[in-house]
Structure 1
Amino acid sequence: MFDKRFISNFTKYKFLLVELVKRDIKGKYKDSVLGLLWSFLNPLLTMVVLTFIFSYVFQMSIDNFPVYFLTGFLIFNLFNAATNGAMESIKGNAGIIKKIYLPKYMFALGTTCSELVNFLISLVVLVLVMLVTNAPFHPTIIFTIIPVFLLVIMAIGVGLILATLTTFFTDIRYLYGVFTMTLMYASAIFYPVEVLPQQYQFLFELNPVYLAIAGARDAILGGIFPNIKYMIVLGIVAFVLLFIGMYIFYKYQDKFILYL
């Protein structure tokens, strides 16, 4: 069974995962003057611009908009970066894959893990903004780990699906770019869900990325445990997509070499 092979290979090649994560983190800002500092500046500058636009220009009323926005932005960016990186992982490592045998899923998994590390680094910005805006640090902030964990599981599954499809159909990357842009606007990152009429607000519950964002906001801003209903739905979607991703990847991985 592919699941047994997955576990067996993971145990045998876990050292490779560590090296891939190190490589991706070092390579991401390799040619950048500011290097890793962009992990802090990117969300910070985006927050400043959107805080001005939505808080002052549009006078949108959201309690502590900077923290509200950053929470959503960082979690969405984790999913977006992880899945896009995984999507390119097979084609991007074609040279290595052609030369030696390695568990191919490690490249997708390594990209996801490196983006998780970048996400954790970016949380420093969120903490600083909370301090500057006098946002309370609720004990429930620890429960943010639940929606983040489930989001990462989902990102792995989606990443494996995308890595498989992109190997055979290059155009997937362009279609996925349009999809993620739409997903960003559908995740209530910089606006409250109340902008939609009451009868349409249920549409947000169909978006698992929004469920993760809402759960994190509950823990960080609301001082409450993440919405249990949301976390159950997110968990089901995450593990179903993980299973589908593993199945599809293992079914077609032996054909990858013909398209690289």
Structure 2
Amino acid sequence: MRRDTSDAAVLEEPGRSRGLTDVFSHRHLLALIVRKEIQIRYRGSIFGWLWSYVKPLVQFLVFYVALGVFLALNKSIDFYAIYILAGITIVTFFNEAFSNGTRSLTDNAALIKKIYLPREMFPIASMLVALVNTVPQIIVVIAIALFFGWAPTILQVAALLLALLIVAMLATGLGMLFGAVNVTFRDAQSFVEIIVMCAVWASPVMYQWEMVASKVPEWLFALYRLNPLTPAVELFHYGIWFPLDPRGAQPLPNLWTYSAWALVIALLILVFGQFVFRRLEGRFAQDL
């Protein structure tokens, strides 16, 4: 009697995922994890989501009074408070997504050791939670810009979306990379804290790109622009601050070219992060 072996072709090794594609096939579970993380953030809070709008508004007032008026930075950069808040918004998104993505596996160790699910889901959920937390800050920045006469073009709105895409891919890739390493070597988390601390200064958030161009050689300035955060920050400036600037400031040289490079670099980091993640995930349950 002939034995039917047709089922053998569909058998898969237990505990092995198809990577990022598996995450999107479990969208409902991903949504549950994101919802849980957001609810934890505001658990026990009376005002809840209101704090997400109050914080950037208070930041704006502090920047406007302390930096713009007392330090007179408005004289060198018009609407300096909006300039700095726009840059901080996109860098904060990166820092939160990257930091939480690095800790996401160790923070969910109990769940990972009990059941199987696509482990990439945790750094991706961390990025989505960071994005949700960043949206109120973006709304506040845009509302303030509208008050001062913000009238963007379609290209400037597209610049904001492109910046968010670059940072989302970059933070997810780095979160998977360092998150996987952090399972075995917890020093990775401390290294990430140093990167996050330097991120705000490694891109034109607190200063303008002209200050870097005037102090460093051209080749070093080119490397500075290849940092994906640099064009991402400048895209946010281009979308929110540039329409307000009465002096007609110039965007980062070759902004769109370097934005394309930033997108490519972020994609490569995402692919590399997924590769390292899949190579190490077989030890997650054991090391955790």
Give the TM-score normalised by structure 2: 0.82
Local SS of the residue matching 2:204: coil
CA shift in 2, pair 1:187/1:26, >3 Å: same
Superposed CA deviations along residues 110-145 of structure 1, whole A, max 9, x for unmatched, are: 111111122223222012211332333333332111
User: Which runs of structure 2 are paired with 1:64-213 in the superposition (5 Å)?
Assistant: 64-143=79-158, 144-196=160-212, 198-200=214-216, 202=221, 204-213=224-233
> Structure 2 counterpart of 1:57, which letter?
F
CA shift in 2, pair 1:5/1:209, >3 Å: same
CA shift in 2, pair 1:11/1:129, >3 Å: closer
Partner of 2:10: none
Query: Is 1:52 matched up with 2:65?
Result: yes
> Structure 1 counterpart of 2:63, which letter?
L
Would you tell me which structure has more helix in proportion to its own residues?
Answer: 1
- Give the Å deviation of 1:199: 4.5
Distance, in Å, in 1 between the alignment partners of 2:68 and 2:143 is 19
Distance, in Å, in 1 between the alignment partners of 2:145 and 2:86 is 11
The number of equivalent residue pairs is 257
Contact 1:20 1:111 in 2 (8 A): no
> Structure 1 residue runs of 4+, over 6 Å off?
none
Identity %, equivalent residues: 25
Contact 1:51 1:65 in 2 (8 A): yes
Query: Is 1:244 matched up with 2:272?
Result: yes
Local SS of the residue matching 2:200: helix
The answer for unaligned runs of 5 or more in structure 1 is none
Distance, in Å, in 1 between the alignment partners of 2:232 and 2:287 is 35
Partner of 1:13: 26
Distance, in Å, in 1 between the alignment partners of 2:84 and 2:125 is 28
Local SS of the residue matching 2:111: helix
Q: Aligned-residue CA RMSD in angstroms? A: 2.2
Partner of 1:231: 259
Distance, in Å, in 2 between the alignment partners of 1:180 and 1:206 is 17
CA shift in 2, pair 1:128/1:259, >3 Å: same
Superposed CA deviations along residues 127-177 of structure 1, whole A, max 9, x for unmatched, are: 221133233333333211112112111111011011111111112222221
Q: Which has the larger radius of gyration?
A: 2
Partner of 2:7: none
- Give the Å deviation of 1:63: 2.0
Local SS of the residue matching 1:185: coil
Distance, in Å, in 2 between the alignment partners of 1:176 and 1:112 is 15
- Give the Å deviation of 1:242: 0.3
Q: Paired residue for 1:222, among 230, 242, 248?
A: 242
Contact 1:9 1:103 in 2 (8 A): yes
